[in-house]
A and B are shown apart, each in its own frame.
Chain A
Amino acid sequence: MRRRPGRSKEAPELDITAFLNLMVVLVPFLLVSAVFSRITILELNLQGGAPSEADDKPQMNIEVIIRQGSIELRGNQKVIAKMNKIDNKNYVEGLVQEPTKPINEKQIYDLPALSKHLLKIKASYPDKLDALILLEPDIEYRNLVGVMDAVRGAEIKKAAEDGGEPQTERKVLFPDISIGDAP
């Protein structure tokens, strides 16, 4: 900064009282109206119409079946993979469940394995966008949402070129999801 000659070296004091008052009022006001958990929506493709059968490309019907103890992945009516539930690393014995906290389960669905299989299918059918999720009647809603997340897209970890933190990239898999009853 340039200083005019002949001025005293001491910086002139700013009167920031008014600004400070404004801040003191503004901060509590905004704190009250702030949202820390944002609601988003998952769009379903319920009656997406009949798929165009006249396609020349090889068709592949992807079905993910959520059962009580496992997830089954089917393509063209054939079972590709069956993933049993895996042990939850974050399970705490005898923890009292609080309503808003993540649910403390002993076993969880193996979503990373499902992602891996789906990525393989996506690699062979890059134009495929729709998938069908079939559920047993007593599956909880959150499991449906978890599987939907895995089917809609997967995260691929990429090592950074400069050897730093590995970067995650989101890859879209099958975003048009239909829902049905498990056979």
Chain B
Amino acid sequence: MRHDSRRMKRMARNHKKTPGMNLTSLMDVFTILVFFLLTNSASDEALQNPKVITLPASVVETKPKETVVILVTPENILIQGKVVADTPDVVNRQANIIEEIKNELELQRSRTLVTDEEELPEVNILADRRAQFSLLKKIMSSCTSAGYAKISLAVIQKSSQGQ
């Protein structure tokens, strides 16, 4: 017994210099995590997810392009980040075409450089999932009357199984 304990003391003294933590599994986790995060980093996103609204979910995989963005929140309608109209006011209106939206879109169109005559102007609509179709229809008709014939609806991508 005494012999053993002395040997253990010696061993402990000799091995004190290198505690030698085993970091292999930690390294594995980090390496996997880094690659996973690198693949879905947000550097090349054309559209940022707005916090004030919840977009509906869809299975489409088309990537958004850099276009004019219309954001429809329960309170306001924003074009390129600028408030143009109040949503409740627009909902109550009888007219199908909202003049404020149309004017702002025409302004946006005159500002952008036309590089290709063939290319139709595009617009992206980000609307809350609870927005009513009558509101959406007014916005869409305003877009088309301002010359924006290509309209895209922004959605959150979901996995195909989750119906």
Contact = CB atoms under 8 A, between A and B. Distances in A.
Contact of B156 (A37, A136, A152): A37
Nearest to A108: B163
A42 B62 contact: yes
A111 B59 CA distance: 14
Given A41-B60, A140-B130, A46 B156 contact: no
Contacts of B129: 103, 140-142, 145
B63 interface: yes
Contacts of B43: 33
Given A40-B62, A44-B151, A141 B41 contact: no
Interface stretch (B1-9, B30-38, B101-109): B30-38
B20 A138 contact: no
Interface string B7-35: 00000000000101001001100110110
A41 B152 contact: yes
B20 A13 contact: yes
Could you tell me the dominant secondary structure of chain A's interface residues? mixed
A30 B18 CA distance: 33
A27 B33 contact: yes
Interface stretch (A18-26, A57-65, A76-84, A118-126): A18-26
A148 interface: yes
B42 interface: yes
Interface string A39-50: 111111011000
Given A137-B137, A141-B132, A27 B41 contact: no
Contact of B60 (A36, A135, A149, A155): A149
Rank and list the top 4 A-B pairs by shortest CB-CB distance, nearest first: A30-B37, A137-B134, A142-B56, A142-B129
